[in-house]
Structure 1
Amino acid sequence: MTLMEIITAIGRKAGAWAHDRAVQGILDTPPIVAQDDGVILFSMIGTAVLLPYLVAVKSLHHHLPRGKIVLLDDGTLTVGDKQLLARHCDNPEIIGKQHVDTSPCPRDNCWERLISILDRRHDHYVIQLDSDTVTTGPVPEIAAAITANRSFTLAGGLDEAQHGFKSASEISRIFHANGPTTDHVQAHAEAAMKTLPEADSRRYIRGCAGFAGFAKSAEGRATVSRFSDEMDERLGDIWRQWGSEQVASNWVVANDPDPIQLPYDRYINHWDEPMPKSPAFVHYIGTYRYRWGNYSRTTREAIAALKA
């Protein structure tokens, strides 16, 4: 390892240690009081992310505050975990991943999460929330999206936010004019979008599945099933790789009526770049999760706000 790699590794371990200490305080905060108001806060979690998840969901519910909790167990939640979740999240519904039928879409790689969400959107507005997120301030854009029954997504990054919603054919032309630019499934899928039926009218956005809202709709899983079949025809086994579920999530949101891209100066992914002064929501991407100590800091601040 180079000296810089050693320094980076040490910094990551120190940041993880600091966050592990900070997150313990979530157990001393008041439990969520669920609302049966047509909104679901949905997450897929396991025992390894239990405490960060409580920060994520409690901080969002504190600033929203709407909805009841539904969880997808990745297969690792223990009896003790479920008892703790019952106490802090007002007896949430917990679904076993193994019980979710994803056909005709792929299995694993978060597909059970997306399918479970879409199966519940017939009569609920469903918000997908990753466990590595912190809501740091008021979220009027989310409340407005729910009221207007408009789907939303977090932009993938600053560059992606500048492009917004585009037609499928535009996405291929802008990002992959000469074919896939990488071997990642997203590149292959975006390059293939120009070949889809009605590629000039169907839409896509380079969003982030870590935080997305799915409006009530009779469509259920119909949109994603059609899209997945089309991608499977074009990509084969590539379509079953990690990352295809995020592409599908972006596709569903983009093709819902009047969707919203959240403003990136307030709803951000934490890349290796300066934080805005007053973000409302931060998604701590794995690669840079513990960089600069921001995750620990916002975790502590969120816990303090819950105790106030």
Structure 2
Amino acid sequence: MVRDKVMRKLREGQFLRAARGILHTPPVQAADDGVILFSMIGTKVLLPYLVAVKSLHAHLRRGRVVILDDGTLTAADKAVLARHLDHPRIIPIASVETGPCPRGGTWERLLTILDLRRDAYVIQLDSDTVTLGPVPEIADAIAAGRSFTLRGGTDAEILPMDEVSARARASAGPGRVHVQSAIEQAMEAMAIPGHPGLRYARGCSGFAGFAPAPSGRALAEAFSVEAERLIGRARWEEWGSEQVTSNFVIANDPDALLLPYDRYMNYWNEPIAAGTGFAHFVGTFRYHGGAYAAAARAVIAALGR
């Protein structure tokens, strides 16, 4: 256990040394073109975030940056962000009202995105992601006004709610299940007035696009109220409920897109195939094999040209 923690810190240090090169790359030139690149960050993820957002912008060539400050960004951090990201808008997390939805667990992030999408196409980007190559599917989704999400796994698909519940019950193990499984099992009992034929997909909110919609956060709030009714407030406030809601909102947008997993992947300590455009270095294996550091070095070298 102790050895594992030491190894993780050593690998994290290796990554951060590689990521420091992002500070020597040219700044982003923002464009008020209807696209927002959005993330919630704090001081601990400043360098990986810059790798994430600069690598995406380099391939997308669209948008301006908006940041939700988790409360830890320092004056020095904000100066770095201003210099590298063309003076992004920074929103304090304490200013975000969550209404009937939980607080914490990245709910402020999702609700801010849904407020912003009233007037723009908003791309949610986690700091532990790297855009490795061209992303034509993202450009096409923006042009077509389609929302998208990273798949949670290769078999993810958009399904009717009753089928979601049946699959969740069939795959649930004994004992207490994660909040995601708990609400998925209960989805067949959901009823939101004015929204027949509800759907859901097991996506990953680490990378998701929200097409412009005047309704803002209304559907997410209605879903949250129903979820709380079905599984209880305490369960619904657990970590992971925000991702479930993000998945639900996107699945019920018109012609929503689940990104092809062979090009937009979650990293599970497996080789990154040639032609992969985007990788999400999830916490479990984030620093294994040096893949994250290698990806950061590669995009930094490309950005510096």
TM-score (norm. length: structure 2): 0.95
Amino acid at match of 1:295: Y
| Structure 1 segment 1-308 matched on structure 2, within 5 A | 1=1, 6=3, 8-158=4-154, 162-177=155-170, 182-197=176-191, 201-236=197-232, 237-308=234-305
Three-state SS of the structure 1 residue aligned to 2:297 is helix
1:27-78 per-position Cα deviation (integer Å, ceiling 9, x unaligned):
0000000010000000000000001000000000000011000000000000
**Match for 1:18: what amino acid?**
Q
RMSD: 1.6
Per mean C-alpha deviation after superposition, the further-off stretch among 175-184 and 223-232 is 175-184
Contact 1:11 1:291 in 2 (8 A): no
> CA shift at 1:10, angstroms?
4.8
AA matched with 1:299: A
Displacement of 1:176 in angstroms is 1.4
In structure 1, C-alpha distance between the alignment counterparts of 2:112 and 2:291, rounded to whole Å? 32
Question: 1:179 deviation in Å?
Answer: 6.5
Task: State the TM-score, normalizing by the size of structure 1.
Answer: 0.94
Conserved 8 A contact 1:26-1:303: yes
How far apart are residue 303 of structure 1 and its match? 0.2
3-state SS in 1 of match to 2:100: coil
In the alignment of these two chains, the number of paired residues is 301
Identity %: 55
Gaps of 5+ in 2: none
What is the letter of the counterpart of residue 181 of structure 2? A
Q: For residues 214 and 294 of structure 2, what CA distance do their matches in structure 1 show? A: 41
Contact 2:116 2:122 in 1 (8 A): yes
Partner SS for 2:73:
coil
- How far is the alpha carbon of 1:23 from its aligned partner? 0.4
Which residues of structure 1 form unaligned runs of 5+? none
Question: What SS class does the counterpart of residue 176 from structure 1 fall into?
Answer: helix
Q: Contact between 1:23 and 1:300, CA under 8 Å: does it hold in 2? A: yes
